[in-house]
Amino acid sequence: MKALIGLGNPEEKHKITRHNTGFLMMDEILRAHSVSLSDKFNSYFGKKGDVLYLLPKTYMNLSGNAVLELMNFYKLKNTDILVIYDDATIEFGTFRLKKNGSFGGHNGIKSIINRIGTDKFDRLKVGVGPVPDRIPIDSFVLGNFSKEELDGVIKMANKSIEVVDCWLKDGIEITQNKYNGKVI
């Protein structure tokens, strides 16, 4: 089994914020894969075949709680998950896939690392940056996308479908080679 995990915050007021990019990408992936969600693992959860879909309702800073619960229930290894999330240090419209690494200042990733006990899991970092001068990063990522950016978000979400399909079929290395870089 493999798990696709999108990070975000569950309240409606967060729906189109930069920090909800993982949820926004997953919305399109779920639509493309014809997956409906239910409440399980303190998350929005879906399963189709041998693929699990998880959007934690724990809020970003406690994402690891839901991820650990899913991994324990399905006996997943850290190499069985792909976490999709925003990265304000990467240029808007850019994807960066990684096999492991530090949390890089992202509290959702920090929570997952702390809860599952390793930083060795696959990630799809979706660029939402750069952060404008004189704006604190927290304010920036919790801010809504502009109208102009929303068109790009839709394009990135559509491209994320290709990325996860490649990851599910071919693994991280091939997916990195095909999709790392500017996608829109």
Interior angle at CA 31, CA 27 and CA 32, nearest 5: 120
Mode of pairing for the β-strands spanning 38-40 and 43-48? antiparallel
CB 127 within 8 A of CB 91: yes
* 19, two tokens: 């920090």
DSSP state of 131: P
Q: How far apart are CA 61 and CA 95, in angstroms?
A: 22
Which amino acid is present at 129?
Answer: G
Instruction: Report the run of H or E that residue 25 belongs to, with start and end.
Output: helix 21-32
168: nearest Cα among 84, 91, 102: 84
Q: How far apart are CA 128 and CA 72, in angstroms?
A: 31
Active site residue 19: yes
Look at the block and give the residue holding tokens 């239910």: 38
Please list the active-site residues. 19
